[in-house]
C-alpha cells in the first residue's frame, strides 16, 4: 500500500507524526495515573515504571528528531516504533498488576495503528506479539493492590473500576482522533490515485493525438506544399489582376496557417520547439501572437487592452504557447465573428487574460464537456481539439483555462499562466 520512499507529506509520514502525538497523550496519561496511585499510598515499584515511561519518552524524542527530516519514512520504521511501544507497555504492566491492570487495553493502540498503516505481515507480527505479551502477563506479573477510595457523599469507588472507566474515556478519544485522521489519509490516497489514473488517461490521449498529428503532418505536408507553390506561380502569372491577387494572398495565409496548426499539433505532442532560447519580453510575445491572429482573422474586430508592470518580464516560450492563445481566440471568433474582446494584466509572477465573445454562450452540457477531446459545439466544422490542446499546453506550464458565462451575453475564457516556470 505504501512505498519505501516518501514525500514529506505522504501517508506514512503523517501516521508517524500522529503516532508521536498519540504516544505523548499515553505517556502523560500513564504518568498522571502513576502519580495518583502514589498519592493514594498504593504500593508501586517506582523505578521500573519510570524506566518504562522514560523509554517511551526517549522513543518520542527520537521520533520528533526523525520528523525534522521525514524523507524516507518506511513501513519497517513504523513497525520498529510500534514494537518498542509494546515492549514498554509490557514492562509497565508487569509491575502494575499484569493482566488485571485496567489499562491493558492499550495493547490495542499499536495494533490499530498497524492495521491501517502497515502491510499484512507486519500487522500479524504486531498482533501475535501483543497477544503473547498479554498472555504472559496472566502468569507473570506483580499484583496491584485492589483498594477502594472514598469519593464523598457516601460513595466508595473501586480503583480497578475507576481505572476501567478512565481507560474507556481515553481510548475513545484516542481512537476517534487517530482512526479518523488515518481515514482522512486513506481518502487522500484515493484522491491522489484517482488523479494519477486521470493523468495516465490524459497521457494516453496525448499519445494518441501525437500519433494522429504525426500522421496528419505526413499526409498533409505534401498537399500544402503543392498549394503554396501553385498560389505563388498563379500570383506571378496573374499579377495584372488585383482582385485575384488579393484572393491568392488570402489563400497563401490560410496555407501558412495550416502549416502552423500542424506544427502546433506535433509540438503539443511533445516535440516543442523554442522560439527564442534567450527569452522574449512578455509584452512583445503577446503583441506578436495577437498580430499573427489579426492577420489570420482580419474580418473580426478585436478590442485589446492588456497592461502590466514595465519593463515586462522576459519569458522562454515556444510555438505551442502562442498557438494555445490563437486557438482560444479562434474559438471566440467562431462564436462571435463580428467582435472579440481581450483584456488582461501581468506582473512578474502571473499573466491573466480574459477573452470575451458575444455569441450565444454555452449550455450547461457544453460547459461540462468543454475541454475534452473531440467535443465541439461548431455545427459545420471543428474537431473539438482547440480548447483541449490549449488546456494541455497551458497545463504544461502550470497554467489553466476556464470558461464562464458572461452575465450579459457570450462567454468569457479566463487564462491564468504563472510566469515563474517561463522566466528567462
The C-alpha cell that represents 154 in the structure block: 457516601
Q: Residue 311, preceding bond cis, omega within 30 degrees?
A: yes
- Of the CA atoms within 13 Å of residue 148, those in its CB half-sphere come to 7
pLDDT of res. 259: 75
pLDDT of res. 148: 46
pTM: 0.47
Q: Tell me which residue has cell 489570420.
A: 296
Q: Is residue 92 within 8 Å of 26, Cβ to Cβ? A: no
pLDDT of res. 47: 78
For residues 154-191, b (16+ Cβ closer than 10 Å) or e, as one string?
eeeeebbeebeebbeebbeebeeebeebbeebeeeeee
**How many angstroms separate the Cα of 82 from the Cα of each of 135, 136, 178, 181?**
18, 19, 14, 18
Share of the chain above pLDDT 90, in %: 6
Q: Does domain 280-422 match CATH 3.30.565.10?
A: yes
Question: Which parts of the chain have pLDDT scores under 50?
Answer: 1-9, 147-157, 268-274, 379-380, 382-383
Q: What is the pLDDT of residues 322-373, one digit of tens each?
A: 888 888 898 888 888 889 999 999 988 899 999 998 887 766 666 665 655 5
Closest CA to 143 of 87, 94, 86: 94
pLDDT of res. 342: 92
**How many angstroms separate the Cα of 395 from the Cα of each of 185, 199, 238, 399?**
27, 12, 47, 5
pLDDT of res. 151: 45
pLDDT of res. 355: 92
Closest CA to 111 of 98, 97, 123, 120: 123
3-class SS at 148? strand
Q: What is the pLDDT of residues 201-240, one digit of tens each?
A: 766 666 666 666 666 666 676 788 788 888 888 888 888 8
Spatial separation of the C-alpha atoms in residues 416 and 344, rounded to whole Å: 10
Amino acid at each position: 500500500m505504501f512505498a519505501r520512499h516518501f514525500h514529506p507529506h505522504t501517508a506514512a509520514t503523517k501516521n508517524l507524526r500522529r503516532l508521536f502525538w498519540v504516544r505523548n497523550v499515553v505517556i502523560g496519561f500513564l504518568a498522571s495515573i502513576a502519580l495518583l496511585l502514589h498519592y493514594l499510598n498504593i504500593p508501586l515499584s517506582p523505578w521500573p515504571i519510570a524506566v518504562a515511561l522514560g523509554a517511551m519518552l526517549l522513543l518520542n524524542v527520537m521520533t520528533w528528531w526523525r520528523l525534522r527530516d521525514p524523507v524516507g519514512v518506511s513501513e519497517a520504521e513504523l513497525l520498529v516504533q510500534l514494537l518498542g511501544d509494546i515492549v514498554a507497555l509490557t514492562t509497565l504492566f508487569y509491575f502494575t498488576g499484569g493482566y488485571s491492570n485496567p489499562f491493558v487495553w492499550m495493547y490495542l493502540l499499536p495494533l490499530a495503528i498497524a492495521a491501517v498503516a502497515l502491510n499484512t505481515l507486519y500487522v500479524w507480527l504486531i498482533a501475535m506479539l501483543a497477544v503473547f505479551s498479554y498472555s504472559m502477563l496472566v502468569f507473570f506479573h506483580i499484583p496491584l493492590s485492589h483498594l477502594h477510595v472514598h469519593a464523598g457523599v457516601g460513595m466508595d469507588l473501586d480503583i480497578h473500576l475507576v481505572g476501567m472507566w478512565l481507560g474507556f474515556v481515553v481510548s475513545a478519544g484516542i481512537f476517534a482522533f487517530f482512526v479518523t485522521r488515518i481515514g482522512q489519509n486513506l481518502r487522500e490516497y484515493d484522491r491522489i490515485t484517482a488523479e494519477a489514473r486521470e493523468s495516465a488517461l490524459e497521457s494516453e490521449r496525448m499519445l494518441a493525438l501525437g500519433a494522429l498529428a504525426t500522421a496528419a503532418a505526413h499526409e498533409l505536408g505534401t498537399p500544402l506544399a503543392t498549394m503554396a507553390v501553385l498560389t505563388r506561380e498563379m500570383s506571378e502569372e496573374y499579377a495584372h489582376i488585383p482582385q485575384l491577387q488579393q484572393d491568392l494572398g488570402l489563400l497563401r495565409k490560410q496555407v501558412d496557417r495550416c502549416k502552423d496548426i500542424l506544427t502546433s499539433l506535433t509540438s503539443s505532442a511533445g516535440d516543442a520547439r523554442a522560439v527564442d532560447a534567450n527569452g522574449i519580453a512578455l509584452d512583445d510575445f503577446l503583441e506578436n501572437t495577437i498580430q499573427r491572429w489579426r492577420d489570420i482573422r482580419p474580418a473580426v474586430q478585436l478590442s485589446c487592452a492588456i497592461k502590466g508592470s514595465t519593463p515586462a518580464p522576459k519569458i522562454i516560450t515556444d510555438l505551442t504557447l502562442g498557438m494555445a492563445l490563437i486557438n482560444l481566440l479562434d474559438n471566440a471568433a467562431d462564436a462571435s465573428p463580428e467582435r472579440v474582446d481581450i483584456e488582461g494584466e501581468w506582473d512578474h509572477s502571473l499573466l491573466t487574460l480574459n477573452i470575451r465573445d458575444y455569441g450565444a454562450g454555452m449550455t450547461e452540457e457544453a460547459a461540462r464537456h468543454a475541454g475534452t477531446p473531440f467535443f465541439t459545439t461548431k455545427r459545420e466544422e471543428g474537431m473539438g481539439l482547440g480548447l483541449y490542446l490549449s488546456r494541455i499546453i497551458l497545463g504544461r506550464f502550470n497554467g489553466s483555462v476556464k470558461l464562464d458565462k458572461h452575465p450579459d451575453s457570450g462567454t468569457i475564457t479566463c487564462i491564468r499562466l504563472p510566469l515563474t516556470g517561463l522566466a528567462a
